[in-house]
Structure 1
Amino acid sequence: MQAPFSLLDAENTLASPVPVPAGRATQMLALTILWHPDARRIGEQYIATARSADIDVNRFAPLFGAPGGRCAPLDQRRVARDSLRLRRHRDDGVSLLLPQSRMRVELNGAMLAAPETRCTPEQVDAGLVIGLGGVVLLCVHWMDRLPQDSAIASVRGVSAAAIRVRELIRQVAATDLPVLLLGEAGSGKELAARAIHQASARCREPMVTVNMATVGASLAEAELFGAGTGAFAQAGEGSVFLDKIGKAPQPVQAMLRRVLQTREYRPPGARTKEAARARLIGASDDDLHDASFNQALLRRLEALVVQLPPLRARRCDIGVLALHFMQAWSARTGGAPELPLAFISQLCVYDWPGNVRQLGSVVQRALSVAQAGEAPDFGTLVPGVAGRPARTRPGKLGAQAVLDALEANGWLIRNAALALGVSRPSMYKLMEAHPAIRQIGQIAPAEIDAALAAHGGDAGRCAAALKTPSEALRRYLRGRMAGKVS
């Protein structure tokens, strides 16, 4: 088996940054677990420190780990013992060489059939999403440092980009200079501002937030500089976070420049000046280097700049973020339904123009749909995206493909049919003809009871163990319960 970096290696540990110059040639190829039946494994990584060696991915290798944790293989029955081989080329493209087994392998949501598929360097830059056996999703991407424990819980992610942002936040929090946060809408600028405030010496004082895009020009001055009620007065020695600072009216921009220059301001209607003791943190998703923004203010804000990467630039973080939103839903509602792997795969492949905020909204809507007993459809939840695959002729589908689709979709017939691109009636016919799939009426009640006991009463896992549709199993259990009540 291939061994990952070792905690016992004095030069390369899980907490050690790897100082390398920019460019792919000196970066390490990494595998991150985007999704796994054991949610605790999501976000674990394998880093290929040797540039020239192939990476064999199978049930027992490589070993994936997290900082400070154990290293373990994927260890899933649906992942074959024969290896999917990843080969890095001199131009930094990567080839996927299929195993000899019948394991289903997907690349960015499409099933692979050719013995070798070559991906361009640009595709690897974007992150390759690989599905194995209908149970595991991996992301192939670059890392310029080894994984590190996150001391800033609000900035989630295992990517090199996420690690860099946390490092910058720690550095910025140790100073008292103004900060400018730049990034696309939804990329987490307010979370970063709160992380800076909480990690600073001002953390016991308030952080007051003002969205300049929602404050009218007539009220902006009072909102910021009002005596006793303005943001600077309320923050005291804490922090003032001005979101969308590029939308601030020109007179207010001039006032902010003077505040940063003199550390004083005059409240509207007042005769005396007040001391501005709060630290200013600004954020923008606009280009501030034009005539519409006060360039003298910009030069002072640029004392410290933190650039928040878009989600499409850190695709390997999507699994960790999606799991976080699911866990938050579960904490609020007392439990979260499982989402089909095909849907999770679409989450991981999509480019997310609305970034983390959009991802969170889609995951929550999907959970709401699933909670109501329906299958979440990506194309419906993300307008403009073709969520349904092209129709497939049932006769072209092999028995293994049918079984894989059911396994990947929690043995829900509708979800499996969507994943295969067939109608529900066609799916029923495929299941009836399959030698390994059983109708609920063919299974002895004692076997059903044993499977329920073995899986803690979880009907979804019980259905997978019995190889029977979960809808039929749930109807059977409801009917049996109704009989006991009556």
Structure 2
Amino acid sequence: MQSPLKHAPLSLLDAENTLASPVPVPSGRAAQMLALTILWHPEPARIGEQFIAPTRAADIAVNRFAPLFAAVAGDCAPLDHRRIARDSLRLRRHRDDGVSLLLPQSRMRVELNGAMLAAPETRCTPEQVDAGLVIGLGGVVLLCVHWMDRLPQPSAIGSLVGVSGAAIRVRELIRQVAATDLPVLLLGEAGSGKELAAQAIHQASARCRSPMVTVNMATVGAALAEADLFGAGTGAFAQARDGIVFLDKIGFAPPVVQAMLRRVLQTGEYRPSGARMKEAARARLIGASDHDLHDGSFNQALLRRLEALVVYLPPLRERRCDIGVLALHFMQSWSARTGCTPELPVAFMSQLCNHDWPGNVRQLGSVVQRAMSAVQAGQPLDVDALMPGVAGRPARTRPNKLSPQAVLDALEANGWLIRNAALALGVSRPSMYKLMEAHPAIRQIGQIAPAEIEAALAAHGGDPGRCAAALKTPSEALRRYLRGRAAGKVL
């Protein structure tokens, strides 16, 4: 799909440009900072933490104890997981802004964009870094290597989730746009968050106590469009009063309606359908489109007025470092609605982070919620059904080709959850049970003395996941044991 915009968002802070002047996208990377963002971590609170390297910094050493990652205005901490080696993976920035990955002198599994690395050094082109590099460490942590053109900032707009420079830039612009009464044009691909941006503008503006009326012009027939917008007492402008009229997919508005909208913006008045007298149009107009309005089919006089302020919502593939915090946001929303907190395997999260998301944030949210539903129902995560066409999904593996150490590593990397470990290994759940039964180090919960279980719980603060790892027993079985103990049942 052709980009819907030929320029970046308006910058109200740039003295060289007016409110109506598009600011060109910077062409070079020299002033940009190389950043590491935690896409996934066993401790969900760590997701979204960042390390920002100084411009033109020397090698970045990534190990268990360095670098220090931080949330905005939060404490700094290393990755600090036993599956992360003490020896460093090194990231080396080259003069052309490519980046090389130099493997550590350890057995830690290192993945790049879903594929395991074996060569001592792997060089990534500047274009690959522009797209965001997804690095997997130890089968437990996912990082994104990307550029930042500004320092992290706290978000005052909770609905627009993201830690990328692009997300920060959009939030900054929305706050500034909300302080004016000029028309706004929101541009971006389908699912990139245009309606959320319109709601954020409304909520941050002086009009927040008045209604925001939304009309999707793609679903309104030409015969009804005029009445839906300008009907006496029932049209969008009448209902919004001095609030906001948000016209989604404004490019689908019939030519006659486009002409009427141009007159509204030009004169501040409109004549309700069937009425003789004109009425003042007090509402602010926000339009949105997911395709180019400069192709001549749209009323160019109206477009020039709508372009008083332009906000561009970047596609998710241009803000890959936001996938982790967005996925966590959708998981938390699911948990708040259902009261359940299913765990998703790292292998599945890696696929999410490496996908290009043609449906953007909306599609990501749908996939995450379907995955949560499947896990909660005890169903296997069928990646083909959830995300058709995703490259890099694990191929099916013959169980007899797996070593005992690979089985143990998969369980440890996935919190001793059987279904997650099976997905990571590419085997069915029944096959996973057989592999576990044949493994000399893996124990069934019934084989462990209650006193040993109680001692492990005490040693690990009652955390079932850590206790399961220490006992080398499946987490699901241990949790059933604990529920039975709490209910006074003998298992």
Normalised by the length of structure 1, the TM-score is 0.90
Alpha-carbon contact 2:31-2:55 (below 8 Å) kept: no
Residue of structure 2 aligned with 1:448, choices 423, 442, 453: 453
Q: What is the 5 A alignment of 1:446-485?
A: 446-452=451-457, 459-473=464-478, 484=489
Q: Aligned equivalents of 1:259 and 1:143: distance in 2?
A: 40
Consecutive unaligned residues of structure 1, counting only runs of 5 or more, are 1-19
Q: Aligned equivalents of 2:128 and 2:403: distance in 1?
A: 30
Alpha-carbon contact 1:388-1:421 (below 8 Å) kept: no
Q: What is the 5 A alignment of 1:1-400?
A: 22-385=27-390, 388-392=393-397, 397=402, 399-400=404-405
Letter in 2 for 1:180: L
Q: Aligned equivalents of 1:433 and 1:84: distance in 2?
A: 35
Q: Aligned equivalents of 2:309 and 2:362: distance in 1?
A: 25
Which secondary structure does the structure 2 equivalent of 1:213 belong to? Answer: coil
1:311-352 superposed Cα distances (whole Å, 9 cap, x missing partner):
010000011111111111111112321111111111111111
Q: Are 1:417 and 2:422 counterparts?
A: yes
Q: Partner of 2:13 in structure 1? A: none
Q: Aligned equivalents of 1:475 and 1:150: distance in 2?
A: 40
Q: Aligned equivalents of 1:94 and 1:79: distance in 2?
A: 21
Letter in 2 for 1:462: C
Q: Aligned equivalents of 2:273 and 2:179: distance in 1?
A: 33
Alpha-carbon contact 1:104-1:401 (below 8 Å) kept: no
Consecutive unaligned residues of structure 2, counting only runs of 5 or more, are 1-24
Query: Cα distance, 1:76 vs. partner?
Result: 1.0
1:402-435 superposed Cα distances (whole Å, 9 cap, x missing partner):
3331123232334323322345566456545655
Change (3 A) 1:299 1:58: same
Alpha-carbon contact 1:168-1:306 (below 8 Å) kept: yes
Alpha-carbon contact 2:62-2:89 (below 8 Å) kept: yes
Change (3 A) 1:424 1:266: closer
1:8-46 superposed Cα distances (whole Å, 9 cap, x missing partner):
xxxxxxxxxxxx954222211100011112211111100
Letter in 1 for 2:198: A
1:147-188 superposed Cα distances (whole Å, 9 cap, x missing partner):
111122211100010011111112211211100000000000
CA-based RMSD of the aligned residues comes to 2.3
Change (3 A) 1:453 1:68: same
Q: Aligned equivalents of 1:91 and 1:309: distance in 2?
A: 25
Letter in 2 for 1:421: G
Worse overlay, 30-39 or 390-399: 390-399
Change (3 A) 1:390 1:104: same
Which secondary structure does the structure 2 equivalent of 1:26 belong to? Answer: coil
Alpha-carbon contact 1:95-1:117 (below 8 Å) kept: yes
Alpha-carbon contact 1:28-1:49 (below 8 Å) kept: yes
Which secondary structure does the structure 2 equivalent of 1:177 belong to? Answer: coil
Which secondary structure does the structure 1 equivalent of 2:139 belong to? Answer: coil
Query: Cα distance, 1:467 vs. partner?
Result: 1.6
Q: Aligned equivalents of 2:89 and 2:401: distance in 1?
A: 24
Query: Cα distance, 1:204 vs. partner?
Result: 1.6
Change (3 A) 1:374 1:461: farther
Q: Aligned equivalents of 1:435 and 1:106: distance in 2?
A: 29
Change (3 A) 1:424 1:361: closer
Between the two proteins, the alignment pairs up a number of residues equal to 467
Query: Cα distance, 1:476 vs. partner?
Result: 5.4
Change (3 A) 1:180 1:427: same
1:229-278 superposed Cα distances (whole Å, 9 cap, x missing partner):
11111111111100000111111111000000000000011010000011
Q: Aligned equivalents of 1:483 and 1:331: distance in 2?
A: 29
Change (3 A) 1:374 1:466: farther
Query: Cα distance, 1:485 vs. partner?
Result: 7.4
Change (3 A) 1:82 1:207: same
Alpha-carbon contact 1:86-1:94 (below 8 Å) kept: yes
Letter in 2 for 1:236: R
Query: Cα distance, 1:479 vs. partner?
Result: 7.3
Q: Aligned equivalents of 1:220 and 1:54: distance in 2?
A: 59
Letter in 1 for 2:28: G
Identity of matched residues, %: 87
Worse overlay, 173-182 or 472-481: 472-481
Alpha-carbon contact 1:379-1:387 (below 8 Å) kept: no
Alpha-carbon contact 2:114-2:392 (below 8 Å) kept: no
Q: Aligned equivalents of 1:93 and 1:440: distance in 2?
A: 50
Letter in 2 for 1:272: M
Q: Partner of 1:15 in structure 2? A: none
